[in-house]
Structure 1
Amino acid sequence: MSLFLATLLPGLFLAALGALLAWNDPRVVSTAKALPRSQRGAWLFFGGGALWFLFRLSQLGEADLIFFQNPWPVMLAFGALAVLAFVYAPDFLAVRGLCILALLVAEPLLHAAYMEWTHPPRLLMVTAVYVGLALALYLAAAPFRLRDFFEWLFKRPARPRALGAFLIAYGLATAAAAFTY
């Protein structure tokens, strides 16, 4: 992925997310509040994250495989764990899936910005990615905190609008930074 795309796409994503929050439509509020325990969200986000992770495991090289000759035993073990998570730990699986996706998305974005010292505006994207990584690690350990955050956020109409305005501004600044390379 080029540095241009690695900066443009997160910027546009943040601006779109901010626009949804600033709009503050009742459908957005109800969808956000239902997301942490959503069964559809679990299938979409956790299932997508598990499939992406299994794909990444299938790409492991010989140096990464210590005990096995090929990645199939590792893939089967993690695939079984993903299926068992749907059966035995279905609560907040959508939040954990979002965390998995955030961790997997961060790698190509940070890889594109690695050693690009001549482009300081890349730090807008890198900062957003590291904040997302910190949130993903925190929410993976305590996924109920996302539910609590949404309850706090949507208690007053000014809060989502303020957060939305900040995300729009930061996202547009990040997207604009992509055109300076």
Structure 2
Amino acid sequence: MFIACGYFLIKNPIWLYPRMEHFLRSKRAAFWSFGIASVWFLYYIATLGEADFGQYRLWLFLLFGGAAVGAFFKMEDFLSIRGVAACVLLGAKVLLDSAYMQPTSARLVLVTVVYGLIVVSIFVGAMPFLLREFTHWLFEQSERPLVLGSSLASIGTLLVVSSFFY
């Protein structure tokens, strides 16, 4: 993912800018990203064990399912960004679970990147309008997408290389 994002930022930032602008408020993107995040989260609730609020599973499912449906009607502004942020947070659990019980030196790169993604996702999920401002700032000068793209591609390459040492 990092390598692909870095590639697009390096190769053709002019092509990417209007698509990023459109994605921020796209209803179709909101439907897919927030829909996937909602179904994924509701799946976790449906499979809760007895030790993890299992006796309240139905009530939690109805509460969060209703909140997800209500968000489509009442919070539709920047909902696509919130959906992507929620997907990243849910995916972080899977990535951190894969690093569990691995030697510390082997998992250090993955865990560091995942915790960085968690911080960014919480920040962007809480204040998605700042991503719009960041997008404008990023494409104001032609060097900025190249620097960010190179950084993302480097992180992706580092993750790929470090995965061979697990």
TM-superposition CA deviations, 1:61-90 (whole Å, max 9, x none) = 11222653xx22321221111111110110
Distance 2:162 2:53 in 1: 39
> Which amino acid letter does the alignment assign opposite residue 59 of structure 1?
T
Q: Which runs of 5+ in 1 are unaligned?
A: 1-12
Distance 2:161 2:79 in 1: 35
Q: Which residue matches 2:123?
A: 138
Identity of aligned residues (%): 37
- Equivalent residue for 1:83? 69
Residue 45, structure 1, aligned to residue 30, structure 2: no
Q: 2:151 is matched with which residue: 156, 166, 170? A: 166
* Structure 2 partner of 1:9: none
Residue 100 of structure 2 is aligned to residue 114 of structure 1: yes
Q: 4+ residue stretches of structure 1 with deviation over 4 A?
A: none
RMSD of Structure 2 on Structure 1 (CA): 1.5
User: Gapped runs of 5+ residues in structure 2?
Assistant: none
2:31 counterpart of 1:56: no
Q: Give the TM-score of the pair, scaled to structure 1.
A: 0.86
Q: Which residue of 2 aligns with 1:33?
A: 21
Q: Does 1:148 align with 2:136?
A: no
Distance 2:97 2:34 in 1: 24
Indicate conservation of the 8 Å contact 1:36/1:92, yes or no.
yes
Q: Which residue of 2 aligns with 1:102?
A: 88
Q: For residues 152 and 80 of structure 2, what CA distance do their matches in structure 1 show? A: 22
- CA apart distance, 1:115: 3.2
Contact 1:24/1:157 (CA < 8 Å) preserved in 2? no
What are the superposed Cα offsets for residues 136-163 of structure 1, whole Å, 9 maximum, x if unpaired? 1111111101111101001111101111
* Amino acid in the other structure paired with 1:120: S
Deviations 1:123-143 (A, max 9, x none): 111111111100111111111
SS in 2 for 1:155: coil
> How many residue pairs end up in the alignment?
166
CA contact (8 A) 2:13 2:145 kept: no
Cα distance in 1 for residues equivalent to 2:111 and 2:156: 12
Contact in 1 for aligned 2:31/2:80 (Cα 8 Å) = yes
Higher relative helix content: 2
